[in-house]
Structure 1
């Protein structure tokens, strides 16, 4: 059966004043880089693992993100930064240190490597604040929203790019992100996803790019052709004027994306760029593929695409659309394995998977979205056992005789019902989300829990298992059943429901040492 990956995140240090001042908490042991496995060109050139094997940092401000980078032993020390809340100009200051080079008003990933930034909990929103990657490598950005970044007006950040990369950047994976603006250049916005000045081996997957004049580019000018080896797959481009993306030189692989309401032009291959364009769905759009606004030709190999209510302009001068019947004018091979969804099902698959806070769902080519597969947990981390109601644990249920409490409870339910050994009683949160905890008077070693639901329960779409002593996230994923993680001694453990369909009914919260 398909089950979500439970991401192992280790014990956080209780940092007290530091957390209060910067919105940051630190961890001392290792963690998984991100849920799900890296795909596309980011798997090449040694692969992209982000902060796998490094400390875990929890950040609720931009200053805390910078503090985490600057607090490392070196600029290449692996680190995983879990972000929750709204990051904006008011809470993003410059921080100095030998392992960082930061600036106020932008998340600055400059001259560093081996970093993961991942949204957790109720989500991470970078509001009017861009993420700038410069002279860096091995970066993962996952499950975040970046919105309304401006290059003119007030406030400004990152040259108006939601995510921008430049100057020798290598191996970046951006996954399940939502990048959006509220207009075009005249309103002060620039690109949503830009790469220039020798940026290579990048994958953008399962993301939403919308409501912008410019989707993004590879190469800042016709002479900036040192960029490339970029994969775009299972993304939604919606209400974009142009640049979905603009390609100058290099090789790109563009597959299983949904393009909707492209107002002026779409994939713009120019200056010798070569694009492999497979099984995409283009809808209600104009001039979705070609060479536009230049006489420096680019090239494409097309296969399996659907053009639904697409209009094409006439060829003249520097306007050379590929349609109305696009055919290949080059051949492109890629060095990695991939599986294509049929183009006809791309709108449905992308609508269920792309963007932040979608449960990190992916596709395996079956046209049916799947939660991340435990047999493919990510770049380097084998991961713990995922929720499985068919695999009950053995040994003593440590919850029997323990105490219980929680964040909220629905009328007529009780925290104590999850530790009474009966599946006929249950706890429910007061809404669709909430948390329930099991606690002991002294430290107790736990490495596995079993969440049993009562009949009529709503579906748990996302959860976290938290060491309440320290705030460490021991596991996260979706569903209920058996969840395993590294053995941890603690006095209180929490099952936190962060997303659900309907109201969950938790009958038993069992805990086991092994």
Structure 2
């Protein structure tokens, strides 16, 4: 299949980081996984708790992760591994022990149970090194980035899967992760999130999957239909050719996901599979639901989805798109409680919560991101819609730790653009409006302008400036300008929430006039209220 990915990642993301020192240390808990927040099918069949109740260990290399697994009393002794820094081939080796079965070319979670791997500090990046789960159960992976894992070329890892599961895997929760590649199969990459050969009771939540030929699969062939009971919710799939996911047999539940720029196909239900597809937002994509590339049909139950600029191919022997008139052709019973956000607010709530280094923010079912400890504000029972305009109390002055607001982030609108006075090497103006805190804009010096603009006027009364990880506090004094006429809307210092009198404009500019270090603006969010 020809790949048509028209993007390029910055060179800094494609390169292997400097090798870190190997080290393992017992730590007092600093960022324990939010096991109380487990959702979806991972709550079933006994539930998923990961390493809760076990020792907490820190690791900054792949070898240290493996050593933590191998130093346990048994292969089922609970453990929480807090990971920081960049994990790569240069600092990952095989470690042997009675409680582990590791490898040198991947993070190997094989024949083990009761493990949590969670990114802490400035973040954990698995660079060109995949995470492999085999013959294991009760696993949690949280707050990590896995990027550029290859199945051909060099270096090779995990069959090209960012996270892969196979062979009798049960009860896995993957949450607040960023999984990304730099191309499709012809560039050496495979799936971002694959499950095959008897994998069941898995939830993928609040994740970003992007820039890949293949999002992921459930079942490796038309005969591999013993996988299932998989939940996908509040995830962003962006710039992907197909497989979001490919489902062969089994049952999967997709709700409140945001799908953008799916080039060839999206949710591919085939070989008797059943997909329950609730309150998702599909945008600028093709054939987002159906049976594709096979005559062995699957089915779907749909409710509350939004199809925004979605195109559909004509049906044929091996392609049965669900649209343009998308209706249900099966029914699916879901055994767990869940609360649906309205599809209309999915782009904004997913942008605020999904991916690594978002503070493990979740949705409360009313289109409002909250901290995981806050819990839901309404009873966790299925419902088809939720309020898109919850009340909010904006700060009167910038806050260094802004909370994601209600409403639609106008910087993510289809007609939004960005420009500025200058940009440092490796940064981009557009990085301030891509919904990711891992990319950013910096001026070429200590000061500079960055703007968000639109093709038609928007009413704006609130801005949130989010700094990139590791640069918090760098922004000093600033002016916020009406970029259309140069009028000063607000002056102040520090990143955070900025409120001002509602203004109709085609451009808003942040002018940084002083800084204590290189300013790094990860997101420039704009809101009507």
The offset of 1:317, in angstroms, is 1.3
Q: Deviations over 1:445-469 (max 9, x none)?
A: xxxxxxxxxx988669xxxxxxxxx
| Residue of structure 1 equivalent to 2:262 | 262
Give the conservation status (yes or no) of the 8 Å contact 1:264–1:286. Answer: yes
Instruction: For 2:522 and 2:326, locate their aligned partners in 1 and report how far apart those are by CA, in whole Å.
Output: 43
Question: Corresponding residue for 2:335?
Answer: 335
1:34-433 → structure 2 map (5 Å cutoff): 34=34, 37-374=37-374, 432=472
Take 1:190 and 1:223, find their aligned partners in 2: how far apart are those partners? 20
Q: Is the 8 A contact 1:24 1:58 kept in 2?
A: yes
For structure 2, list consecutive stretches of 5 or more residues without a partner in the other structure.
Answer: 1-19, 377-469, 475-491, 498-519, 524-529
Taking structure 1 as reference, are residues 278 and 501 closer, same or farther at Cα in structure 2, changes over 3 Å only? closer
Deviation at 1:364, TM superposition (A): 1.2
Number of residue-to-residue matches in the alignment: 372
Per-residue CA deviation, residues 210-233 of structure 1 (Å, 9 max, x unaligned), is 000000000000000000000000
Distance 1:267 1:113 in 2: 30
Superposed CA deviations along residues 215-272 of structure 1, whole A, max 9, x for unmatched, are 0000000000000000000000000000000000001000000000000000000000
Contact residue 459 and residue 501 of structure 1 kept, 8 A: no
- Contact 2:35–2:49 under 8 Å retained in 1: no
- Return the offset for 1:368: 1.4
- Structure 1: distance between partners of 2:150 and 2:223: 26
Whether the 8 Å contact between 2:128 and 2:150 is mirrored in structure 1 is yes
Distance 1:186 1:73, change over 3 A: same
> Greater Rg, structure 1 or structure 2?
1
Give, in whole Å, the separation in 2 of the partners of 1:316 and 1:328: 19
Shift of 1:373: 2.8
Residues 58-91 of structure 1 show CA distances to partners (whole Å, capped at 9, x for unaligned) of 0000000000000000000000000000000000
Instruction: Say whether the 8 Å CA contact 2:142–2:176 is kept in structure 1.
Output: yes
Q: Which has the higher contact order (CA 8 A, sep 6+)?
A: 1
Distance 1:459 1:260 in 2: 27
Deviation at 1:34, TM superposition (A): 3.1
Residues 1:211 and 1:501: Cα distance change in structure 2 (over 3 Å): closer
* Cα distance in 2 between the residues matched to 1:260 and 1:126: 24
Task: Please state whether the residue corresponding to 1:347 is helix, strand or coil.
Answer: helix
Is the CA contact (8 Å cut-off) linking 2:205 and 2:232 kept in structure 1?
yes
Aligned residues: CA RMSD: 2.3
The whole-number CA distance in structure 2 between the counterparts of 1:176 and 1:358 is 7
Q: What does the per-residue CA deviation read over 1:95-141, in whole Å, with 9 as the maximum and x for residues that have no partner?
A: 00000000001000000000000000000000000000000000000
Q: Is this contact kept in 1: 2:218–2:245, CA < 8 A?
A: yes
Q: Tell me the distance in 2 between the aligned counterparts of 1:373 and 1:500.
A: 27
Contact 2:21/2:60 (8 A) holds in 1: no
Structure 1 CA distance, aligned partners of 2:472 and 2:126? 25
**Alignment partners' CA distance in 1, 2:175 and 2:371:** 14
Deviations 1:398-443 (CA, angstroms, capped at 9, x unpaired): xxxxxxxxxxxxxxxxxxxxxxxxxxxxxxxx96359xxxxxxxxx
Aligned-pair CA distance for 1:182: 0.4
Contact map agreement 2:219 2:249 (CA 8 A) in 1:
yes
Q: In the alignment, is the contact (CA less than 8 A) between 1:49 and 1:140 conserved in 2?
A: yes
Helix, strand or coil: the match of 1:22? coil
Q: Equivalents in 1 of 2:28, 2:352: separation in Å?
A: 36
The SS at the match of 2:363 is: coil
Give distance in 2, aligned partners of 1:237 and 1:353.
14
Q: What secondary structure sits across from 2:155 in the alignment?
A: coil
Report the CA distance shift for 1:21/1:308 in structure 2 as closer, same or farther (over 3 A): closer
State the distance in 2 between where 1:287 and 1:24 align.
47
SS in 1 for 2:67: helix
Does the aligned pair in 2 maintain the 1:126–1:144 contact within 8 Å? yes
- Contact 1:349–1:369 under 8 Å retained in 2: yes
C-alpha contact 1:32 1:53 (8 A) present in aligned 2: no
Q: Distance in 2 between matches of 1:298 and 1:366?
A: 32
Q: Structure 1 pair 52/301, CA: closer, same or farther in 2 (3 Å)?
A: same
Distance 1:88 1:228, change over 3 A: same
- In the TM superposition, what is the alpha-carbon distance from 1:33 to its structure 2 partner? 3.7
CA distance in 1, matches of 2:135, 2:324: 41
Shift of the 116–91 alpha-carbon distance from structure 1 to 2, 3 Å rule, reads: same
